[in-house]
Amino acid sequence: MFKRVLIVAGMAGSVCTATAAGLAPQAHAQPFPPGVSCSDTTCRNDTNDTYLVEAWQHCRVISTGWKTETPFNVVVRPHETAHVAGVDCPPFVTDSNMTPRHNVMPTEPDGITYFKAVIYNPNAPKVPSGSTR
Would you kindly state where each structural domain of the chain is located, as residue ranges?
Answer: 6-119
Which amino acid, residue 66?
A: W
Contact 90, 18 (CB under 8 A): no
Q: How far is CA 132 from the centre of its chain?
A: 26
pLDDT of amino acid 31: 73
Alpha helices, DSSP H, located in the chain: none
What confidence tens digit (pLDDT) does each residue in 11-25 have?
Answer: 222 223 233 333 444
Angle at 14 between CA 112 and CA 23, to 5 degrees: 40
Please indicate whether residue 9 or residue 84 has the higher confidence score (pLDDT): 84
At 7 the pLDDT is 28
Query: For all residues of the chain together, what is the average pLDDT?
Result: 76
Give the pLDDT score at 74: 94
| Claim: this prediction has a pTM higher than 0.85 | no
Give pLDDT, residue 20. 34
Q: Which of 57, 49, 45, 44 is nearest to 114 (CA)?
A: 57
List the end-to-end C-alpha distance of the chain, in Å, as a whole number: 37
Side chain identity at residue 63, one-letter code: S
- Indicate whether 115 pLDDT > 80: yes
- Considering only residues 81 and 5, tell me which one the structure prediction assigns the higher pLDDT: 81
Q: What is the rounded distance in angstroms from the CA atom of residue 123 to the CA atom of residue 130? A: 20
| Per-residue pLDDT, 104 | 87
Is residue 99 exposed (0-12), middle (13-18) or buried (19+ Cβ within 10 Å)?
exposed
Give pLDDT, residue 99.
60
Using one digit for the tens of pLDDT, what is the confidence trace for 27-58?
434 579 999 999 989 999 999 999 999 999 99
d(CA 103, CA 132): 35
State the Cα–Cα distance between residues 55 and 116, nearest whole angstrom. Answer: 7
Confidence (pLDDT) at 98? 64
